[in-house]
């Protein structure tokens, strides 16, 4: 079976539901299954295991130590690679616990309403395996100013691309360029590990210029093979502190004979916008030159209604934390629906991130979302692989 290598623990005090979960896991081919009736027993078993399980399925309403307290212990002691919150309690509470676990640094695959079913377990274990494949190629790299400067000079930062497709017909219309640090042995370091250091050390301009240049180069190459797509490149607010960035970006796209209207700059904000006047100057001029502007991860961090009122955005990206599980979680669905309604009133295109299954695709289509991006379509791939990915992609039959 596909899940034979996974190890899963079920923490559930209700005997019948625990046995049902164990039986479903066995039917799905999971080879290592552990069980516990409460939090204290779970911790004792986990501490005695030679290696931590891949997934711990945690009921919240447990006797003694409840599931919320247990998740805190799992995170602090690193006793699980990922958790699934399972409960028949209020959906708002499940969502809060899910957010809390992620704040602890624990991978959360889903919040599942009981009873568990084969389909629900299959979905979360598939999500675990997809995420795990991306983590498998991680490598421990010293991340210092010197190592980043060396990598920038050597061209070790490369662009991977994730397609964005039209929900109405499934056509691939754009790709997002995602920075990866290609280590000497061929392994990759993801941006979550190096972007904060690059921003702190004042090197973000060099990286953004390299990624934009590479994306433009690939766009030209794909066009020669008959694949015409817009490109989206992430831009930090720190890139916008110097008004000269407009001319620099314009020079990069013109060097590749690309119309700025074919380039969307996704504005991410890792810190409060300090030099507001400079940033607004740059954003207004970028828009004047034809670049599209997308508000990335809308609804999280500093991406907010105030930005929408100040900046001439052309697109809104709904963060994957709202899309994931939204078909089963009314509060998340409400956030998605409200974001889409706001975008329509502001005449903005909308990209929903993190679309991983057909239910999420169908929900977004029903709600009138414009574009989708996520593992259901493709994980990020190298530029030379993109044409084959696009050729083999098929819109889900729903």
pLDDT tens per residue across span 305-316: 777 777 889 999
Tokens linked to 61 = 């309403």
The predicted-structure confidence for 88-142, as pLDDT tens digits, reads as follows: 777 677 777 877 887 787 888 877 878 888 988 998 888 787 665 554 444 455 6
List the single range of 209-213, 245-249, 306-310, 339-343 with lowest mean pLDDT.
306-310
Cα dist. 366→168, 333, 369 in Å?
10, 11, 8
Give the count of alpha carbons within 13 A of 274, CB side only. 7
- Per DSSP, the three-state class of 294 is strand
The predicted-structure confidence for 43-89, as pLDDT tens digits, reads as follows: 999 999 999 999 999 998 899 898 889 999 998 898 999 999 888 77
Same fold, 7-135 and 141-392: no
Helix axes 145-154, 204-224, angle to 10 degrees: 30
Tokens linked to 96 = 């809060």
Angle at 145 between CA 142 and CA 147, to 5 degrees: 45
The predicted-structure confidence for 18-38, as pLDDT tens digits, reads as follows: 999 999 999 999 989 999 999
Could you confirm whether domain 7-135 is CATH 3.40.50.880?
Answer: no
- Per DSSP, the three-state class of 24 is helix
149 is known as an active-site residue = no
- Would you state the torsion angle of the CA atoms of residues 348, 354, 355, 360, taken in this order, to the nearest 10 degrees? -90
Q: Which is it for strands 263-268 and 292-298: parallel, antiparallel or unpaired?
A: parallel
- The full set of domain ranges for the chain reads 7-135, 141-392
The model carries a pTM of 0.76
Residue 393 has pLDDT above 50, yes or no: yes
Q: Active-site residue among 176, 353, 356, 360? A: 353
Q: Report how far residue 347's alpha carbon sits from residue 313's, in angstroms, rounded to the nearest whole number.
A: 10
**So what's the pLDDT on residue 271?**
47
141-392, CATH topology level = TIM Barrel (3.20.20)
Question: Are the C-beta atoms of 296 and 234 separated by less than 8 Å?
Answer: yes
Q: Report how far residue 160's alpha carbon sits from residue 384's, in angstroms, rounded to the nearest whole number.
A: 10
């Amino acid at each position: 079976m596909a899940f034979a290598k996974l190890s899963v623990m079920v923490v559930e005090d209700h005997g019948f539901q625990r046995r049902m979960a164990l039986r479903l896991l066995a039917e799905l081919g999971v080879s290592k299954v552990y069980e516990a009736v409460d939090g204290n027993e779970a911790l004792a078993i986990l501490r005695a295991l030679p290696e931590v399980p891949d997934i711990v399925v945690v009921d919240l309403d447990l006797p003694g130590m409840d599931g919320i307290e247990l998740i805190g212990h799992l995170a602090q002691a690193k006793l699980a690679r990922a958790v699934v919150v399972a409960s028949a309690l209020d959906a708002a509470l499940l969502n809060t616990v899910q957010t809390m676990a992620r704040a602890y640094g624990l991978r959360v695959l889903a919040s599942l309403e009981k009873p568990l079913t084969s389909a629900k377990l299959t979905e979360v274990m598939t999500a675990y395996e997809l995420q795990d494949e991306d983590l498998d190629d991680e490598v421990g790299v010293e991340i210092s100013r010197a190592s980043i400067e060396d990598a920038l000079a050597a061209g070790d930062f490369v662009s991977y691309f994730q397609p964005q497709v039209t929900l109405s017909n499934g056509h691939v219309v754009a790709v997002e360029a995602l920075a990866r640090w290609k280590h000497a042995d061929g392994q990759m370091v993801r941006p979550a590990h190096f972007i904060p250091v690059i921003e702190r050390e004042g090197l973000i301009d060099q990286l953004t210029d390299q990624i934009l240049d590479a994306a433009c180069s690939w766009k030209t190459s794909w066009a020669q093979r008959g694949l015409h797509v817009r490109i989206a490149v992430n831009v930090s607010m720190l890139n916008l502190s110097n008004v000269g960035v407009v001319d620099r970006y314009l020079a990069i796209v013109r060097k590749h004979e690309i119309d700025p209207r074919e380039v969307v700059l996704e504005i991410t904000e890792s810190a409060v916008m300090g030099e507001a006047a400079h940033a607004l100057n740059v954003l207004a001029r970028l828009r004047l030159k034809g670049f599209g502007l997308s508000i990335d991860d809308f609804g999280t961090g500093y991406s907010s209604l105030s930005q929408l009122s100040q900046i001439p955005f052309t697109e809104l990206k709904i963060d994957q934390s709202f899309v994931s599980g939204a078909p089963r979680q009314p509060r998340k669905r409400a956030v998605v629906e409200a974001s889409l309604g706001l975008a329509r009133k502001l005449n903005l295109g909308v990209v929903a991130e993190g679309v991983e299954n057909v239910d999420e695709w169908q929900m977004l289509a029903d709600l009138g979302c414009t574009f989708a991006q996520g593992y259901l379509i493709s994980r990020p791939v190298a530029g030379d692989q993109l044409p084959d990915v696009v050729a083999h992609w098929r819109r889900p039959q729903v």
